[in-house]
Amino acid sequence: MNRYFIDVSFNGTCYHGWQRQPNGLTVQEILEVNVSKLFRKTIRITGAGRTDAGVHARHYMAHFDADPEDLHLQSEWINTLNRMLPKDIVIHQVRKVNQEAHARFDALSRTYQYVILREKNPFKNEFAWYYWGPLDREAMNKAALLFLGKQDFTSFSKLHTKTKTNLCTVMEAHWDIREDCMVFTVRADRFLRNMVRAMVGTLVDVGRGKTSGEAIQRILQAKNRCEAGASVPAQGLFLSGIEYPKRYFLS
């Protein structure tokens, strides 16, 4: 048996996130069912981590183990699987990795992007949050810098999670203008549940003048979810990339 990393994109609108759940359809379930059908054997797929219901992914990574002969014509295998999958999930690439490589535990960093639509557009509502009021992007960028470094993000985490620590190291956090949208990019070694959506909600409060940029430090120190802003809607959030040690990839 060899281990393979699989690069997946999905529109999360119709799914209850990545991870299998007893009460809702998930991306993991769809992939496992179709890959198992293709190989005519049960295949378990381990993802890089949870995503919330309605969240999208441009490049989500997962791993599975399979016999080499099952993937001897990789391009044909990928094309066949993509024809089997629903239109909102696509496989980009499958790469052989070291047997000990793990899609979740070996990630060096993850990058998320949140898209705020600044002009009403019926063709983008599924992939952005429309906010019509004025926003001070300069103030939001200054406040975003206060997230950088290794800090406790309890104030930006969903309550009652089972994580051992709420410490995260944020390496990048900034806002850009792209056509009729504002895009928040944040990269970190790990993320807590609901963390990015809470960060964006707090920065929007800064942009609309409801919260001062300096308040970010106070909110972080409070370690209290009630101190941060409301979570923004899921449809504007994308997992845009995950970085791994290059030595893990064999082909």
pLDDT higher than threshold 90 for residue 231 = yes
Same domain, 95 and 124: no
Q: Hey, how many other C-beta atoms are within 10 angstroms of the C-beta on 145?
A: 13
Same domain, 88 and 206: no
Contact by Cβ (8 Å): 117, 183: no
Q: What is the pLDDT of residues 164-214, one digit of tens each?
A: 899 999 999 999 999 899 999 999 999 999 999 999 999 999 999 999 888
Alpha helices, H only, 44-162: 74-84, 137-144
Distance between CA 70 and CA 73 in Å, rounded? 8
Percent of the chain with pLDDT over 90: 84
Residue at a domain's end among 50, 85, 105: 105
Same domain, 21 and 47: yes
- Domain of 199: which CATH number? 3.30.70.660
Residue at a domain's end among 84, 105, 126: 105
The whole model's pTM is what? Answer: 0.93
**Model pLDDT, residue 75:** 65
Q: What is the pLDDT of residues 217-229, one digit of tens each?
A: 999 999 999 999 9
Length of the chain in residues, anyone?
251
- Domain of 79: which CATH number? 3.30.70.580
Same domain, 187 and 164: yes
**Model pLDDT, residue 182:** 97
Total domains, the chain: 2
Residue at a domain's end among 105, 133, 156: 105
Distance between CA 204 and CA 110 in Å, rounded? 22
**Model pLDDT, residue 71:** 67
Tokens encoding 49: 């981590």
Residue 235 pLDDT class (50, 70, 90 cuts): very high
Q: What is the pLDDT of residues 32-85, one digit of tens each?
A: 999 999 888 999 999 999 999 999 999 999 999 988 776 665 668 899 999 999
> Which of 27, 25, 76 minimizes the C-alpha distance to 48?
27
Residue 159 pLDDT class (50, 70, 90 cuts): confident
CA distances from 20 to 3, 38, 44, 90, 92 (A): 21, 20, 11, 18, 21
Provide the domain limits for residue 20. Answer: 2-105
Same domain, 130 and 210: yes
Instruction: Report which secondary-structure segment, H or E, holds 206.
Output: helix 195-207
DSSP string for 6-60:
EEEEE-GGGSS-SS-BTTB--HHHHHHHHHHHHHTS----EES----TT-EEEEE
Q: Mind telling me the catalytic residues?
A: 52
